């Protein structure tokens, strides 16, 4: 697994799974040259300096997430090259050292694995699952418990037509050109993706809702699984499904939007807020999910 850089030194590659609350970050990617913005990787790379690698440690992420988006489990690979005569760190030591030296409480490394030096965290991923959380029963968004305000989209309605949303979601399943749901700013030229699973269901009750609010507040969960997604595809699909749930769109109109391949249409151009979106898991053939 190792290769020599400096004479006698060994470079080891690791796959790390990590989670974060995205509220304070300008996305997961490291931000360079902007003192007013910071990415999750800025903190991970700063912590990795304490590993004393011969070459600076850089994280190659599996899945980019935007400002305000959260991750229950994202993944990245990194290389650590120790000085001649020093053995590679064990994965457990790498995970513990990163957590020990992280300077932001909203980030935590879950687990690390030693991987071959040609392993790539983005290209090797076989599945990614995103979860989106909704809340209904709020006349105003600030009526949500403070613990929920940055982790779900509060809809100013008492009711969502769950059956209609589930029917509409079926039109998104399978292999399609999803360009109608891609936001501008992506360098991707191939917009064909395979959506393996999509679900719309009542979510678990929030433990942060007081008894007097539990009768009116209802939480909902949308999940999407694919090997990869287009830029903001999940948030745009969520916005369209919410429009169906509110009765603004009929379920069959989702099929029309998908087949239009037009990202600038009246309804598909809407983007659900970042705060409700979670990267739930990134899976690999040889490395199972972590929690």
Residues of the chain with pLDDT under 70: 1-8, 141, 212-214, 288-291
pLDDT for 7 equals 54
| Beta-ladder partners of 221 | 133, 201
Please indicate if the annotation marks 130 as binding a ligand.
yes
Q: Residue 267 to residues 4, 69, 161, 271: CA-CA distances in angstroms?
A: 54, 22, 18, 9
Give the per-residue pLDDT at 8.
60
Q: Which residues are CB-neighbours of 264 under 8 A, at least 6 positions away? A: none
Pick from 128, 126, 124, 99: which is nearest to 111 by CA?
A: 99
Strands 127-136 and 153-154 come out as parallel
41 in helix, strand or coil?
helix
Q: What is the pTM of this model?
A: 0.92
Active site residue 24: no
What pLDDT is attached to residue 290? 46
What DSSP designation does 3 have? B
Q: Which residues face 70 on adjacent strands? A: 278
CA-to-CA separations, 131 to 65, 213, 264, in angstroms, rounded: 13, 24, 24
Name the catalytic one among 66, 161, 177, 262: 66
Question: Tell me: the pLDDT tens digits for 139-155?
Answer: 776 778 889 999 999 99
């Amino acid at each position: 697994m190792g290769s020599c850089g400096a004479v006698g030194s060994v470079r080891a590659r690791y796959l790390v799974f990590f989670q974060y609350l995205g509220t304070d970050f300008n996305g997961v990617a490291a931000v360079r040259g902007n003192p007013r913005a910071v990415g999750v990787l800025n903190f991970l790379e700063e912590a990795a300096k304490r590993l004393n690698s011969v070459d600076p440690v850089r994280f190659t992420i599996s899945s980019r997430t935007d400002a305000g988006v959260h991750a229950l489990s994202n993944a990245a690979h990194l290389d650590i090259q120790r000085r001649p005569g020093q053995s590679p760190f064990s994965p457990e030591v790498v995970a513990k050292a990163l957590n020990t030296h992280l300077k932001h409480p909203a980030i935590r490394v879950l687990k690390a694995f030693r991987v071959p030096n040609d392993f790539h965290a983005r290209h090797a991923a076989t599945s990614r699952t995103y979860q989106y959380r909704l809340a209904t029963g709020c006349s105003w968004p600030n009526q949500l418990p403070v613990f929920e305000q940055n982790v779900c989209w509060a809809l100013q309605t008492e009711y969502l037509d769950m059956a209609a949303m589930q029917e509409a979601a079926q039109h998104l399943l399978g292999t399609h050109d999803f360009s109608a749901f891609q936001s501008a700013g992506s360098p991707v030229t191939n917009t064909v993706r395979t959506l393996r699973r999509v679900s719309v269901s009542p979510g678990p009750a929030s433990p942060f809702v007081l008894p007097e609010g539990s009768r009116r507040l209802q939480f909902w969960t949308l999940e999407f699984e694919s090997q990869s997604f287009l830029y903001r595809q999940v948030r745009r699909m969520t916005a369209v499904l919410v429009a169906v749930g509110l009765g603004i769109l009929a379920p069959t109109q989702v099929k029309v939007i998908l087949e239009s391949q037009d990202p600038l249409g009246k309804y598909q151009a809407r983007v659900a807020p970042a705060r409700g979106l979670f990267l739930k898991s990134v899976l690999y053939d040889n490395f199972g999910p972590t929690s």
